[in-house]
A and B are shown apart, each in its own frame.
Chain A
Amino acid sequence: MSSYNVINGLKVRFLTADPPSPENGEVWYNSSSIRAQGIAGTGVWSSGGSAPSALAGSAMAGNNTDAMAWGGDNGGGTPTWPRTSYHYNGSSWTSDGTIPTALNQSGQAGVGHTTAIMWGGNNPPGSAASVTNKFNGSSWSASGNLNDARRYAYLTGAGPQTACIAIGAGPSQATHEHFNGSSWTTKTDFPSGSNTIYSIGTQTATLGVSGGNGTTASWDGSSWTGIPSSLNSNRQYGAAGGANTNSAYVFGGGSSNAVELYNGTSWATQPTMARSRDSSGGSGISSNALIAGQSYGNSSVEEFTIPFGTATISSS
């Protein structure tokens, strides 16, 4: 008979009580019984608090209970591009900070609104920006520049502020960089240039999904390996999020409200969003906290949640 640590490579943790926020699939002993965290129902999209604007080209970081959104193209040209950033608390949006310049379509990352980070973007009067700006909970400030300027970098990026990932940007860019909190380091290009390359995971385990041509690959910290393409190869200007490369979601894009999940092996369709979303600035750093934001002419927001539950595992 095999044992848990042989199968999973981990030992069961011995705790005095249930952990406060167990991950899906986590198993532990709480001094009286073996307990496990698992999915207790179907993941579903529901309506979130409406965004303060209805613009394309905005960026968003965080999750559906703690997010930050900024930027967006209001059609008025660069002098009038919005600079206010907005914090989402799970039900409503409030202004929180001002981005240093009227950059639009920037890259996006951060696990919550107080650690949002933006890079690149459309730089007035119309060139690729290389600047990076970090939010500290009260204001945005400049940090180390990108090695490769990225003009239409929105909808791309992943990771925490101190270890985020930038892959690609429009038009058809494939360059790949890692940020350490103060500076960027160039990494191996994504296998194919694309206008939007969604990124999920960490700097040592990244899933990259091209929204334009369907190229999909995983990064292990040193090289890219091709994996099966998502079921809908044309989801340009959609969004992505998820816990890791074994729980990665892509959603929307074009005229689609479709949602797909990659489980580390294959893609599967998931419950659809209520509305098709293009250029929606979606985000999400765990599997049950995705958020799909404003898009062109549409201020509605949707949130994806999966009910998790804790159960005792019987030995009989």
Chain B
Amino acid sequence: MSLFIYGTATNTGKDFFTRQNRLDFFLESHIGDVWVVGNNEKGALWLASKNAVIKTKEEAQAIVDAEITAAQAAWDALDFESSEERSLANGSRPVPTTLP
């Protein structure tokens, strides 16, 4: 059995995930509204309560990869004289992420 469940859901802000949620199950948020939660009853119920669209790990990773690529392109297009200036002004260039 997989250790995690993957899904997409839009973060609606305050208390979208609560202190108790974080204590109850593993939870990570990624670019592209991708969520990774622990594969247990409380994690599954939380995803369901957010009307999340369940994804396979490969599908979720593909969403993240595409979003990272787009974010890198947008970062590269920022109007600065050098990569160093871009970093100083906007933080680090987005880097690929491997989902757990």
Q: A residues engaging B (CB < 8 A)? A: 42, 44-50, 56-57, 73, 75, 77, 91-92, 104-105, 122, 151-152, 170-171, 195, 236-237, 253-255, 257, 271, 274-276, 278-279, 295-298, 300-301, 305
Contacts and interface: CB of A to CB of B under 8 A. Distances in A.
A270 to B, nearest CB: 12
Contacts of B17: 46-47, 274
Contacts of A305: 19
B59 to A, nearest CB: 19
A44 to B, nearest CB: 5
A71 to B, nearest CB: 11
A301 B95 CA distance: 20
27 contacts: A44-B22, A46-B15, A46-B17, A46-B21, A46-B22, A47-B11, A47-B13, A47-B15, A49-B14, A73-B78, A91-B13, A92-B14, A105-B89, A171-B84, A195-B88, A253-B92, A254-B92, A255-B94, A255-B97, A257-B28, A271-B22, A278-B91, A278-B92, A296-B90, A297-B74, A300-B11, A305-B19
A246 to B, nearest CB: 24
Contacts of B29: 274-275, 300
The 4 closest A-B pairs by CB, nearest first: A279-B91, A275-B29, A237-B91, A56-B90
B14 A48 contact: yes
Nearest to A305: B19
Contacts, number: 99
A91 B13 CA distance: 8
B28 A274 contact: yes
Contacts of A73: 78, 89-90
Interface string B11-32: 1111111110111000111110
A160 to B, nearest CB: 27
Contacts of A56: 89-91
Interface of B: 11-19, 21-23, 27-31, 71, 74-75, 77-79, 84, 87-92, 94-95, 97
Given A46-B15, A91-B14, A275-B30, A236 B92 contact: yes
A220 B32 CA distance: 45
A104 B28 CA distance: 30
A72 to B, nearest CB: 9
A51 to B, nearest CB: 9
A67 B89 CA distance: 22
